[in-house]
């Protein structure tokens, strides 16, 4: 077999693997219903166990993916899933089925491993779209579920056959996947997990992703129970409706990723969270209008795809697995909250109205947060960088405010990474009249978040060129103190100011910073790049 490491074939392979592994992670459901006749309440509680296992394993699997590579970790995850589903098919008692089905939840970690490979292989400008295509593995899992459900209601034969397919896939993945050798295996995986968990817990992007992803997953878990208990659907009918809703959400996730490759994300998030909040109110007032739940799933899919694209674009090649793992773990863990909330409030009030109303309030709060904190959300996930060598190069980087309109996150990340190796002064061209881009204060704030150990200061320059020497003395003081300095100038004068400052600062080089939708943030010597106004 010919090995491959680039392009669509790699994407197809990992998407198939995701479908098989996700099918394994949800295989517990048919066994509970058809073999043991578990009541809807217990079904909801037990089906949450694979979700809990998935949340616990995603972060360490992501860290190990960065250390040992996709070629090792994707077969490893698939083999664990294969062993658990084979055990599920052979188990003869309810406790054994529950344990094997819960362990099968490890199969969902294939999303972390596959997303890491996709993010590494595809360029910045296509990353949102291809992550959305990769997410269509959910639709493949649903197709496999439909076929297996029609042929094997109890799921025994399905489990054994799926286990064999996963073993075969593990062998094919190990033989075909090629990728650059992992770098930087030193350090403790536990410490790395803790560091990234701390980052995820303090990032608004992660929390918004939790809201979106948990909505999608919890609908997949809760909707069949809701339709069967509240609306008296037959179980087969309830599962068919749920499958259609989840498939629509997966397609919407692809659309959200495509949007983020081409447009600012904040407006899309405001629309999605706002509409989803309104649909939750409709379901609370008119419980029988269940199609509104499908609308909620589509909105969550759009928002989740857009946020996943932001996360995938922010991560560096050496940390993308860990970043995907910790954010995915947070989202999966959050998926347990809405079903438990709805079920708990239903037990207290004998109605789902209070639960849907509370979910509407959460989504409305998310919408208002995005509207009021669009800068923080637009800057994406503030993933740190590995320190470079000791600063030996003084660099003047020239940037204009309009270049941050679409690519604020990429530009700030590029500057932050450059600042880990160079003494950096950024000449930021800002007009008096507000333009569609980051303000100087926004640029400083974004750099401070990404470089917590750096001092970042903004120095407004005088309009009078004769005062530039005085401004340069102040800049030299900040540079000598080790600060990353933002020199704020007029947009039209930024190149002249940068050239003069490079003489005063005795800079080693002057770079122009620009944003290209296909390649992300670009750094090139002044005069060698595309002309700028």
Question: Per-residue pLDDT averaged across 371-389, rounded?
Answer: 63
The residue among 431, 532, 445 whose CA lies nearest residue 486 is 445
Binning the chain into helix, strand and coil, the percentages to the nearest 5 are: 70, 10, 20
pLDDT band per the 50, 70, 90 thresholds, residue 282: very high
Question: Per-residue pLDDT averaged across 112-140, rounded?
Answer: 88
Q: What is the pLDDT of residue 532?
A: 44
Q: What is the pLDDT of residue 421?
A: 81
Query: What are the tokens at 359?
Result: 């979910």
CB 116 within 8 A of CB 60: no
Flag whether pLDDT at 385 surpasses 60: no
What pTM value is reported for the model?
0.79
Q: What is the pLDDT of residue 533?
A: 42
Q: Go through 284-307 and write b for each residue having 16 or more CB atoms within 10 A of its CB, e for each that does not.
A: beebeebebbbbbbbbbbbbbbbb
Backbone angles phi, psi at 5, to 5 degrees: -140, 0
Q: Go through 385-402 and write b for each residue having 16 or more CB atoms within 10 A of its CB, e for each that does not.
A: beeeeeeeebbbbbbbbb
Backbone angles phi, psi at 398, to 5 degrees: -105, 130
Q: Go through 65-91 and write b for each residue having 16 or more CB atoms within 10 A of its CB, e for each that does not.
A: bbbebbbbbbbbbbbbbbbbbbbbbeb
pLDDT band per the 50, 70, 90 thresholds, residue 416: confident
Q: What is the pLDDT of residue 433?
A: 67
pLDDT digits (tens, 9 = 90+) for 495-530: 888 888 888 888 888 888 887 777 777 777 875 444
Flag whether pLDDT at 3 surpasses 70: no
Which residue's entry shows tokens 């056959």? 161
Q: What is the pLDDT of residue 437?
A: 66
- Beta strand pairing call for 484-489 and 509-516: unpaired
Contacts 24+ apart (CB under 8 A), 277-281: 277/360, 277/361, 277/363, 277/364, 277/367, 278/360, 280/356, 280/357, 280/359, 280/360, 280/363, 281/356, 281/357, 281/360
Which has more confidence, 423 or 79? 79
pLDDT band per the 50, 70, 90 thresholds, residue 313: confident
Q: What is the pLDDT of residue 527?
A: 54
The 3-state DSSP class for residue 394 equals strand
Flag whether pLDDT at 71 surpasses 80: yes
pLDDT digits (tens, 9 = 90+) for 4-15: 456 788 899 999
pLDDT digits (tens, 9 = 90+) for 189-208: 677 667 766 766 667 777 88
Q: Quote the mean pLDDT of the chain.
A: 83
CB 248 within 8 A of CB 294: yes
pLDDT band per the 50, 70, 90 thresholds, residue 531: very low
CB 407 within 8 A of CB 371: no
Q: What is the pLDDT of residue 262?
A: 82
Q: Which of 32-36, 137-141, 271-275, 466-470 has the lowest mean pLDDT?
A: 32-36
Distance between CA atoms of residues 367 and 270, nearest Å = 5
Which has more confidence, 401 or 314? 401
HSE-CB of 149 using CA atoms within 13 angstroms? 20
Q: What is the pLDDT of residue 530?
A: 45
């Amino acid at each position: 077999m010919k090995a491959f490491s680039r392009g669509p074939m790699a994407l197809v392979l990992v998407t198939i693997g995701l479908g098989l592994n996700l099918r394994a992670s949800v295989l517990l459901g048919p066994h509970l219903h058809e073999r043991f006749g578990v009541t809807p309440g217990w079904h909801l509680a037990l089906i949450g166990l694979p979700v809990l296992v998935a949340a616990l394993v995603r972060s360490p699997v992501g860290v190990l993916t960065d250390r040992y590579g996709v070629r090792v970790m994707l077969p490893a995850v698939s083999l664990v899933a294969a062993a658990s589903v084979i055990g599920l098919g052979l188990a003869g008692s309810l406790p054994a089925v529950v344990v094997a089905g819960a362990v099968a939840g490890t199969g969902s970690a294939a999303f972390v491993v596959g997303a890491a490979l996709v993010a590494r292989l595809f360029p910045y400008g296509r990353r949102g779209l291809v992550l959305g295509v990769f997410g269509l593995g959910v639709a493949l899992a649903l197709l496999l579920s439909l076929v297996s459900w029609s042929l094997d209601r109890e799921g025994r034969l399905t489990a054994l056959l799926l286990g064999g397919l996963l073993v075969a896939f593990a062998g094919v993945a190990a033989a075909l996947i090629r990728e650059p050798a992992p770098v930087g295996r030193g350090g403790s995986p536990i410490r790395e997990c803790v560091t990234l968990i701390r980052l995820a817990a303090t990032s608004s992007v992660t929390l918004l992703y939790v809201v979106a992803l948990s909505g999608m997953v919890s609908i997949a878990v809760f909707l069949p129970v809701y339709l069967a208990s509240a609306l008296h659907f037959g179980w087969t009918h309830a599962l068919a409706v749920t499958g259609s809703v989840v498939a629509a959400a997966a397609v919407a996730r692809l659309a959200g990723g495509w949007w983020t490759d081409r447009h600012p994300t904040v407006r899309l998030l405001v629309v999605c969270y706002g509409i989803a909040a309104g649909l939750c109110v409709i379901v609370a007032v008119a419980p029988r209008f269940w199609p509104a739940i499908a609308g909620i799933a589509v909105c969550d899919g759009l928002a989740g795809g857009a946020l996943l694209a932001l996360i995938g674009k922010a991560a560096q090649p050496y940390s993308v697995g860990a970043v995907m793992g910790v954010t995915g773990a947070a989202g999966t863990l959050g998926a347990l909250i809405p079903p438990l909330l709805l079920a708990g409030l239903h037990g207290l009030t004998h109605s789902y109205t209070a639960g849907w109303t509370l979910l509407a309030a959460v989504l409305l709060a998310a919408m208002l947060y995005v509207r009021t904190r669009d800068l923080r959300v637009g800057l994406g996930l503030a993933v740190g960088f590995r320190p470079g060598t000791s600063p030996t190069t003084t660099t003047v980087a020239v940037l204009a405010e309009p270049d941050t309109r679409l690519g604020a996150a990429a530009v700030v990340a590029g500057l932050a990474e450059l600042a880990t190796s160079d003494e950096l002064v950024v000449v930021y061209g800002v007009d008096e009249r507000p333009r569609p881009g980051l303000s100087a204060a926004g640029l400083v704030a974004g750099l401070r978040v990404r470089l917590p150990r750096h001092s970042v200061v903004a120095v407004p320059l005088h309009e009078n060129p004769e005062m530039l020497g005085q401004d340069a003395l102040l800049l030299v003081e900040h540079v000598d103190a080790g600060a990353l300095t933002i020199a704020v100038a007029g947009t039209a004068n930024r190149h002249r100011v940068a050239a003069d400052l490079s003489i005063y600062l005795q800079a080693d080089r002057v770079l122009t910073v620009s944003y290209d939708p296909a390649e992300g943030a670009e750094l090139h010597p002044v005069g060698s790049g595309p002309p700028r106004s």
